Structure 1
Amino acid sequence: MSSTLVIADLHLCPSRPDITQCFFSFLESNSGQHDALYILGDLFETWVGDDDKSAFNLSISQAIKHFSTSTPVYFCHGNRDFLVGKKFAFQSGMTILPENYKTTLYGHSVLLMHGDQLCLDDIDYQAFRKRSRSWWWQKLILLMPLKRRKKLAEDIREKSKESQKHKSLEIMDVAQREVDRVVNEYGCEWLVHGHTHRPKIHNLENSKKRMVVGDWYEQGSALLLTKEKGQLIELPFLSN
């Protein structure tokens, strides 16, 4: 097969059946066709805990589980679904990765991540990220009743939307100095991430590349990695 798929920022939720259907079609058409699938975070619009066993969440879990019987699936937490835990991962047949995961694919050293850790100039968000990734904060949140967690997630999302109105696109994009630092620290040829919703393959120094997979708001997006290159693929939503 000698190819790997990467997706991110699907933001799956019951109110967007077009995205869900595109995701199901993507899994079905690519089943058994590739060496692996990497999901680099924000698979869900929000995730408040593995105990949220709604019919919608179960349908997503079952679809990924079925796909994983023929293709390994790896998951990296995003800024919307950092509470995805071992139970949901097991039910879905996914392997959870560390936030910075280095591997070798087809002779290339590759670093995969969600990408929000690269956005250093968004100071307010970085403060929230540091707090929300701490074990004590997550433990306190998960002790809350499910209904209260859902309300909290809605409140945080609304505050985030309001905050983004007053931030420039440059502030919410990656900081080039952090990209350079990470590439040098990990010694990777290809840096692959999502989060910014700006799909593009950037050429870096010394023939290295930064590959950004797109979001799924207006259409699906995937990155196909082979020995020769990375290729961005558009996945149009099915018309009703």
Structure 2
Amino acid sequence: MTTLLIADLHLHPSAPEVTEGFLAYLANRASQADALYILGDLFEAWIGDDILDSPELDPLATRVAEALKTLSDGGTRLFLMHGNRDFLLGKRFADACGATLLPDPYRIELGGKPVLLMHGDSLCTRDDAYMAFRAQARDPQWQAQVLAMPLEARVELAKRLREQSGEANSNKAEDIMDVTPEEVDKALIEHDVATLIHGHTHRPGVHVLEVNGQPARRLVLGDWQPQRGWEIRIEAERPPQLLEFALSNS
């Protein structure tokens, strides 16, 4: 049994190399796996599942959905989690991909061990401005108001939000945008696990921890770039492996 986990692809028309690399990844590496988990920010922005009705506005959405459906039809179980960029992904898109939408956080057994999966943004509690936006963006009433807007207006809204996010992050201290250690410990204890896997921070690594006197670990997925991607691979009873690979070899 082989399980793959990825996150933070941020697919967008302005980064065609990442899109092509991801599609090759699905056709090759992922198609050989039993399951693929995408832990948020598959897209740089997602303005609602009804974008699938208007491929002229975003042909990338339809192309990716079709590639994911080919993967799931081939026997690879597919799971999606919301990120801070694509929090409006819904059941219709998941169904079009043959995927299951997961809550965040999500506790599962992988490689014979309980593991907690998260996107990771909820752990960054020192970033007060972002946490306030996150609360708003996850509010069902706010989401309903946004989804009621015409598609063209939502396209412009997504553009403005990306610009505002980039400007805000450029003025923040690096440690503010990383996880809060106490929140990591809290999540591990609350869900009774010794392994946490997440993305979001774009700081790939394996962190060895001690929680309540017991060994634990936090594995962080990297963000995809035109030259390389990141995955966590779990096989049988082996510990999770964090791997960087060239997209040209995916």
Band the TM-score falls in, shorter-chain normalisation: over 0.9
Any gaps of 5 or more consecutive residues in structure 2?
Answer: none
The answer for the alignment partner of 1:128 in structure 2 is: 133
- Partners in 2 of 1:170 and 1:191 — Cα distance? 19
Deviation, 1:17, is 1.1
Of all paired residues, the percent bearing the same amino acid is 46
Q: Is 1:64 matched with 2:68?
A: yes
Amino acid at match of 1:231: Q
User: Is the CA contact 1:50–1:88 (under 8 Å) kept in the aligned structure 2?
Assistant: yes
User: Is the CA contact 1:8–1:39 (under 8 Å) kept in the aligned structure 2?
Assistant: yes
The residue correspondences of 1:50-199 to structure 2 (distance < 5 A) are 50-53=49-52, 54=55, 55-69=59-73, 70-199=75-204
The answer for the alignment partner of 2:231 in structure 1 is: 222
- Partners in 2 of 1:78 and 1:51 — Cα distance? 19
Corresponding residue pairs, total: 238
- Partners in 2 of 1:102 and 1:26 — Cα distance? 26
Amino acid at match of 2:68: I
- Partners in 2 of 1:213 and 1:14 — Cα distance? 22
Higher normalized strand content (fraction of residues)? 2
- Partners in 2 of 1:115 and 1:181 — Cα distance? 13
Amino acid at match of 2:223: D
Query: Cα deviation per residue 1:5-40 (whole Å; 9 max; x = unaligned)?
Result: 000000001121100111011111124422211000
- Partners in 2 of 1:155 and 1:33 — Cα distance? 39
Q: Over aligned residues, Cα RMSD in angstroms?
A: 1.2
Secondary structure of 1:207's aligned partner = strand
Secondary structure of 1:6's aligned partner = strand
- Partners in 1 of 2:32 and 2:194 — Cα distance? 25
- Partners in 1 of 2:42 and 2:198 — Cα distance? 13
- Between 1:130-139 and 1:99-108, the stretch displaced more is 99-108
- Partners in 2 of 1:32 and 1:21 — Cα distance? 16
Any gaps of 5 or more consecutive residues in structure 1?
Answer: none
- Partners in 2 of 1:204 and 1:98 — Cα distance? 25
- Partners in 1 of 2:98 and 2:162 — Cα distance? 28
**Given the two structures, how large is their TM-score scaled by the length of structure 2?**
0.92
Amino acid at match of 2:3: T
